[in-house]
Amino acid sequence: MSINNLSRTAGGSQSRLMTVGELSRRTGVPIKNLREYTDTGLIYTVGRSRSNYRLYDADALWCVRWIGKLRSLGLTVAEIRDLTDPGQADWRWSFGSRLAERLRVSRRRLQARIAQLEETLQRVDAFESAYRAELAREGNTCWANDPRCPADREQSVNPPRSA
């Protein structure tokens, strides 16, 4: 089953069908991703054209946009697939609480990533501070005891040696 089940109405959708290319153009999602979503059951085709193209209806358009919204909140495709798995007991009724839990997991993952990026920024700041003069200098500069540089090079950027 798929996320499509969240969008079904009693009478079903009666709309113009789209190829995967048109669905891609309308959503901005690459064809490769749409094929993955179809192959893993996140969206359904309504069949194939005479030319054997996959055909999608408005439900698929809604689903792809919803997947994009969840992805923009930091959820992985696997997490979205798990959320929409109808094999879980009462999956429709527990969707909100399961989504809330996935969002908490996403928040923790994002906070950890932000902490890693802040550490990287601190290393960049420390490097720029330590090598401010060398970073401003033009020309052929050797860095941190580069073995490819001649030992007597004047412009060498090496830490001072103790005598």
Helix (H) or strand (E) holding 56: strand 54-56
Asked whether the CA dihedral 124, 130, 135, 140 is positive or negative, the reply is negative
pTM strictly above 0.75: no
Residues 102-141: pLDDT tens digits?
999 999 999 999 999 999 999 999 999 988 877 887 766 7
Which residues have CB under 8 Å from 42's CB, separation 6+? 2, 3, 63, 67, 77, 80, 81, 84
Could you tell me if 102 and 79 are in contact, meaning their C-beta atoms sit under 8 angstroms apart? yes
Domains and CATH numbers, the chain: 3-92 (1.10.1660.10)
* Predicted local confidence at residue 91, as pLDDT: 65
From the centroid of its chain, how far is CA 139?
A: 40
